[in-house]
């Protein structure tokens, strides 16, 4: 195992600065993100997801990363986080397996090794599963305004591909308040969504508009990982941070729940909810039961 230094800008302010190699193959990438450094007021080394997670016996990587961070003046190590939160991040610590499409899979030894090497779980996330189709509509701040003034626009594959240039700015704006947010280049944005479009059904992505402005959206998809049941995954619900739209996330959640109720889906997954996000409270309202827990780990140097 050895570290090879690199200098590749992956996105604005986000650099791949090194890679860990095992048997001359890339096994894990290390990053520096200027936006995260500013947010935490520290020089932070980020480690990504293992390229070959089955090589979980290679636990010397934690000491390797710590030595690299110390030698290069880093003050914190955080991960797994593949450069920014547009990419893969988080280790699951209650299950080794991916439980649904887009879920992460990592051997428990990765988490055990981090804890034994002085890392602590710092940021927590949850995925929940709900099956009840009997939940009554909740009280939602702003419901009358949303129902009378906003428009819901369901998209099919062709719509999404046409609208990608128009989606870039509002989607980045909606995500800008998220923990560890940093910009994504337009080329990488287009690439990510063009790949995703291939598995979407009409209506899996819908926009909420105030006149012509996109003020919120919801992205869901079929759970193709589970062939024995028919399930849907709510991957992302977002709204702009303007106070005018307080409660819009709850309203969008109600729309997608009603879609679930009227469909032949047997379950719904609320995926990757941050512990301080309203989405966790909303999921509990719909009787979502937590099925997996995740964390990002941190170590001070």
Percent of the chain with pLDDT over 90: 81
Residues 100 and 30 both lie in one domain: yes
Q: Write out pLDDT tens, residues 3-43.
A: 999 999 999 999 999 999 988 889 999 999 999 999 999 99
Beta strands at 25-33 and 44-47: parallel, antiparallel or unpaired: antiparallel
Choice between 175 and 78, residue whose per-residue pLDDT is larger: 78
Does 134 fall in a domain?
no
Task: Specify the residue for token string 């570290």.
Answer: 3
Backbone φ and ψ of 151, nearest 5° = -120, 135
Of 97, 125, 153, the domain-final residue: 125
Residue of 200, 199, 100, 101 lying closest to 154 (CA atoms) = 200
Question: Mean per-residue pLDDT for 165-171?
Answer: 91
Does residue 301 fall inside a structural domain? no
Angle of the 186-197 helix axis to the 157-175 helix axis, nearest 10 = 130
Q: Are 278 and 163 members of one domain? A: yes
Among residues 125, 152, 185, the one where a domain terminates is 125
Q: List residues bridging with 294 in a β-sheet.
A: 92, 125
* Pair type for strands 14-22 and 213-222: unpaired
Q: Does a structural domain hold residue 138?
A: no
Rg (CA), the chain: 20
Burial 184-223 (b: 16+ CB within 10 A, else e): beeebbbeebeebbeebeeebbbbbbbeeebbbbbbbbbb
pLDDT at 58: 58
Domains of the chain: total: 2
CATH number, domain of 210, equals 3.40.630.30
Instruction: Give the CA distances from residue 151 to residues 30, 168, 209, in Å, rounded to whole numbers and listed in that order.
Output: 43, 19, 5
118-130: average pLDDT: 97
One domain, residues 147 and 66: no
Q: Which of 70, 94, 125 is the endpoint of a domain?
A: 125
Q: What is the mean pLDDT of residues 71-88?
A: 96
Cis amide linkage into residue 291, ω under 30° from 0: no
Co-location of 163 and 76 in the same domain: no
In a domain, 219, yes or no: yes
The 8-class DSSP code of residue 171 comes to: H
Average pLDDT over residues 149-173: 93
If asked whether residues 149 and 104 sit together in one domain, one would say no
- Over residues 223-251, the pLDDT tens digits come to 999 989 999 999 999 999 899 999 999 99
**What integer pLDDT is reported at residue 56 of this predicted model?**
61
Alpha carbon 94 to its chain centroid, in Å, reads: 18
Instruction: Provide the residue range defining the domain that includes 38.
Output: 2-125
Prediction pTM value: 0.93
Same domain flag for 111 and 174? no
Q: What DSSP string runs through 186-201? A: HHHHHHHHHHHHTTPP
The verdict on 268 and 177 lying in the same domain is yes
Residue 131, domain member (yes or no): no
The answer to whether residue 199 scores a pLDDT higher than 80 is yes
Cα 298–104–166 angle (5° rounding)? 95
- Tens of pLDDT, residue by residue over 130-145, are 999 999 989 898 999 9
**CA pair distance 130, 269, nearest whole angstrom:** 7
Same domain, 250 and 210: yes
Whether residue 154 sits in one domain with residue 16: no
Who wins on pLDDT, 196 or 295? Answer: 295
Residues 40-64: tens digit of each pLDDT:
999 999 999 998 777 665 567 888 8
Q: Are residues 159 and 212 in the same domain?
A: yes
Per-position b or e across 89-99, b if 16+ CB within 10 A of its CB: bbbbbebeeeb
CB 104 within 8 Å of CB 94: no
Alpha-carbon distance of 6 to 83, in angstroms, equals 14
Q: Domain for residue 159, yes or no?
A: yes
**Same domain, yes or no: 24 and 114:** yes
What are the C-alpha distances in Å from 257 to residues 164, 223, 252? Answer: 26, 16, 9
Residue 137 lies in a domain: no
Note the helical H segments in 229-270: 248-261
Return the residue matching tokens 């995703």.
196
In a domain, 259, yes or no: yes
32 and 62 share a domain?
yes
């Amino acid at each position: 195992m050895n570290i090879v230094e690199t200098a590749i800008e992956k996105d604005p302010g986000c650099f791949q600065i090194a890679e860990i190699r095992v048997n001359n193959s890339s096994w894990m990438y290390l990053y520096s993100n200027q936006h995260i450094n500013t947010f935490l007021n520290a020089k932070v080394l980020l480690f990504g997801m293992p390229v070959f997670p089955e090589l979980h016996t290679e636990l010397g990587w934690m000491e390797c990363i710590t030595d690299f961070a110390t030698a290069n003046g880093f003050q914190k190590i955080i991960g797994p986080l593949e450069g920014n939160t547009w990419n893969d991040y988080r280790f699951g610590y209650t299950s080794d397996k991916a439980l649904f499409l887009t879920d992460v899979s990592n051997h428990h030894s990765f988490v055990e090794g981090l804890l034994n090497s002085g890392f602590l779980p710092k940021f927590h996330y949850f995925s929940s599963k709900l099956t009840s189709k009997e939940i009554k509509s909740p009280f939602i701040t702003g419901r009358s305004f949303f129902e009378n003034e906003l428009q819901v626009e369901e998209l099919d594959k062709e719509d999404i591909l046409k609208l990608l240039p128009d989606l870039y700015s509002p989607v980045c704006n909606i995500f800008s308040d998220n923990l560890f947010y940093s910009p994504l280049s337009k080329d990488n944005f287009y690439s990510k969504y063009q790949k995703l479009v291939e598995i979407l059904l009409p209506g899996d992505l819908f926009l909420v508009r105030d006149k012509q402005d996109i003020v919120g959206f919801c992205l869901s998809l079929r759970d193709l990982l589970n062939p024995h049941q028919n399930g849907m995954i709510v991957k992302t619900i977002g709204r702009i941070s303007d106070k005018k739209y307080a409660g819009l996330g709850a309203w969008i959640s109600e729309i997608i729940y009603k879609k679930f109720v009227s469909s032949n889906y047997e379950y719904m997954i609320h995926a990757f909810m941050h512990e301080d996000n309203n989405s966790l409270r909303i999921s509990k309202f719909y009787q979502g039961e937590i099925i997996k827990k995740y964390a990002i780990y941190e170590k001070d140097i």
